[in-house]
Amino acid sequence: MSDKEQLYNLWKELYPKNTLEKLDAFLSENEQKSVSESKGDWYKDAVIYSLYVDLFNKDFSGLINKLDYLEDLGVNCLWLLPILDSPMRDAGFDIRNYDRIRANLLGLPDNFEKEEQVAVFGDFLKQAHARGIRVIFDVAINHTSDQNPWFREARKSEDNPYRDYYIWSKDTSLYKEARLLFKGIEDSNWEPLGDWNYFHRFFSFQPDLNYKNPEVLLAMSKNLLYWQSMGVDGFRADAIPYLWKEKGTTCENLPKTHVIVKFFRAVLDYIQPGSLLLAEACQKPKEVVKYMGNGDECHAAYHFPLMPMMFKAIAMGNNQPVRHTLSPEVTPDIPAIGQWLTFLRVHDELSLELVYVSEEDRKYIHDNYCLKPEWDFRVGEGVSARLSELLQRDERKIGLAYSLMLTITGSPVVYYGDEFGKFNDEAYYHEQIKLTGKDDTRFLVRGRIDWDKLENDLKDPENFHTRVYEIIKSLLNTRKEHNAFGRGNTKFLDVRDINGQQQNQILAYLRTTADENILVLNNLSDKPVEIQHPLPDNHTFVLNLSGFSYIEEKQTFLLKPYGFVWLGVL
């Protein structure tokens, strides 16, 4: 079936009573490009670096000046956290205009012309691509800012043409089964406005879009195509599980949500194949894999449950949390084109939502990592802290955590500043509370990079930030050189000490492709562990290591506390 035929079929599934005239008009305005082949599954070899442009280095000009730094670090894909026009009450996830970048990021006046945007952002894309760095960015497809022109029109009257772009009710018991996502911050999914209420799943200033209105689907598709035409390599689809709402349901992961995602994918492929569609679905893996469909929805998705389980494994000094999470009963197979994205930290908290952790796991992780009361997020549902803070500014633990994240499955995401052990930013936290009026502890994990201070710190080999930077840079560049990490199968191994006792504090696995085999050993504990060679009949050689040595006379491996090693296997 062609992409065009797919679009018509999906349209009829979503809007059976609607004529096809709207879709006909849309497709006639957006003709298919003559593309002989797609850009392929480049995302499987991606080392992704996530950043806020303004917090990283002021604007796109500043970001261009740091592209060499990022290339040298080992990065080959940038994930730009929200860059679109916004009142900035939710770090840019509250989008005011989908076809405009914030003026301050472009270094342009507020009334800039579209041609100026194309010139500035286009130059950035050209400079990044010249260094082999692809670029993706966030698009919040579930909701807008209450300052969005659509909503500003919608609120004027009940018969305004844009009224039906959003969800209105006088009865706030509608969708009562939908859970409150921002517990402790918002007290309802409905916000009063005059005699009516509008529905929202996130902040009250972020009204949800109404995809039962076909105009909404087409408008969002046009926005994606605009940026695709400029050369953006893909999109992170924010809050994807909540798109379609039905009475009597939780309004999450509904069948027609998947139809909408398939439509977006088919639109992008119809115009120009190869644009990454990344699902931000904070759900159990068995639900998340559905957002990859049969290879016809998103190309990739975050493995949310793996992140807290890596932290739990280090706190326990035991491999079972990770091994269980990646077992078939928890993590199903994904389509051949699909990919997991792994991460330790992103722009949000160390999330402990019950949708993918148990009450027991939540309490254990929270007790071990919420080291200060102000790090608490959503009444125990998460911990707001930078990686270096969570791991008590111990570069051994930071290196170990990265060893896990970079090697165990999928494509890794590095959160800006974590490569040098950036600390929580309390000044930025208090600044944002004043700006937004919301006490959102996630502001602690954001903040600006002081490049002058950092460059001075990195001149001192004994500085904490230098020690972390050298470890992470080495690991990222090694990771980028070996396709087995992004494309290989994962086989867990049991390892034993010299007395034959199984050592569960060692997380050991093989990453294998037809052309390459890599053995990874991670000591999750705070004690040294000596083990037998897991593959005594094979020749192994070191790709990267920390706190590891080979005891030749006994032919054993010694891993120091939080030590690890990556070994090529012949």
Average pLDDT over residues 283-291: 93
User: Over pLDDT 90: what percentage of the chain?
Assistant: 91
Look up residue 114 and give its amino acid. Answer: K
Sign of the C-alpha dihedral, residues 123, 52, 484, 522? Answer: positive
Mean pLDDT of the chain: 95
Contact by Cβ (8 Å): 405, 314: no
- Note whether 79 and 136 are within 8 A (CB): yes
> Is the separation of the CB atoms in 504 and 318 below 8 Å?
yes
Under DSSP, the state recorded for 183 is: B
Q: Is the pLDDT of residue 34 over 80?
A: no
For position 47, what pLDDT does the model report? 98
Strand partners, 509: 492, 520
Judge whether residue 178 has pLDDT over 70: yes
- Outline where 385-463 has alpha helix (H): 387-390, 395-407, 426-436, 451-457
149: pLDDT confidence band, cut at 50, 70 and 90? very high
Rounded mean pLDDT of 416-422? 98
H helix and E strand count, the chain: 20, 22
Sequence-distant (≥ 6) Cβ neighbours of residue 58 within 8 angstroms: none
Q: In whole angstroms, what is the distance from residue 410 CA to residue 490 CA?
A: 10
CA 179, CA 354: separation in Å to the nearest integer? 11
Confidence of residue 1 (pLDDT cuts 50, 70, 90): confident
Q: Which tens digits make up the pLDDT trace of 423-435?
A: 999 999 999 899 8
For residue 26, count other CB atoms closer than 10 A to its CB: 19
477 three-state secondary structure: helix
Interval 64-116: pLDDT, tens: 999 999 999 999 999 999 999 999 988 899 999 999 999 999 999 999 999 99
> Given CA atoms 66, 70, 76, 78 in this order, what sign does their dihedral have?
negative
- Which residues lie across from 375 on neighbouring strands? none
> What does the alpha-carbon distance between residue 234 and residue 255 come to, in Å, rounded to a whole number?
24
Task: Read off the pLDDT band of 33 (50, 70, 90).
Answer: low
For the residues of 259-311, what is the DSSP string, one character each? HHHHHHHHHHHHHSTT-EEEE---S-HHHHGGGGTTTTS-SEEE-TTHHHHHH
Report the C-alpha gap between 383 and 375 in whole angstroms.
5
DSSP 46: -
Any alpha helices (H) in 131-180, and if so which ranges?
149-154
Q: Which pLDDT belongs to residue 38?
A: 55
**CATH architecture of the domain covering 488-569:** Sandwich (2.60)
Question: How far apart (Å, rounded) are the C-alpha atoms in residues 51 and 347?
Answer: 8
Q: How far apart are the first and last CA of the chain?
A: 43
pLDDT in tens, 439-495: 889 999 999 999 999 999 999 999 999 999 999 999 999 999 999 999 999 999 999
Beta bridge partners of 413: 48, 343
Task: State the amino acid at position 288 in one-letter form.
Answer: V
Per DSSP, 32 falls in state P
Confidence at residue 361, expressed as pLDDT on a 0 to 100 scale: 96
**Mean pLDDT over residues 31-52, rounded?**
81
Question: Tokens 């990195």 appear where?
Answer: 458
Please tell me the distance from the alpha carbon of residue 472 to that of residue 405, in angstroms, as a whole number. 11
Which of helix, strand or coil describes residue 332?
A: coil
Q: Which residues are catalytic?
A: 238, 280
Mode of pairing for the β-strands spanning 84-85 and 556-569: unpaired
The H or E element spanning position 545 is strand 540-551
- Strands 300-302 and 339-343 turn out to be parallel
More confident residue, 321 or 183: 321
Mean pLDDT of 399-404: 98
Nearest 10 degrees: Cα torsion 396, 398, 401, 402: -110
Tell me the average pLDDT across 18-23.
Answer: 90
The owner of tokens 């165990």 is 408
Is residue 19 over pLDDT 90?
Answer: no
pLDDT recorded at residue 36: 46
**List of residues 6+ apart from 430 with CB closer than 8 A:** none
pLDDT given for residue 35 in this prediction: 52
Share of the chain above pLDDT 70, in %: 99
Query: Under a CB-based contact definition with an 8 Å cutoff, are residues 135 and 77 in contact?
Result: yes
CB-based contacts of 197, cutoff 8 Å, min separation 6: 168, 169, 170, 172, 190, 191
Q: What is the pLDDT of residues 233-274, one digit of tens each?
A: 999 999 999 999 999 999 999 999 999 999 999 999 999 898
Give the pair of three-digit tokens for residue 232: 């953006």
Q: In degrees rounded to 5, what are phi and psi of residue 369?
A: -120, -20
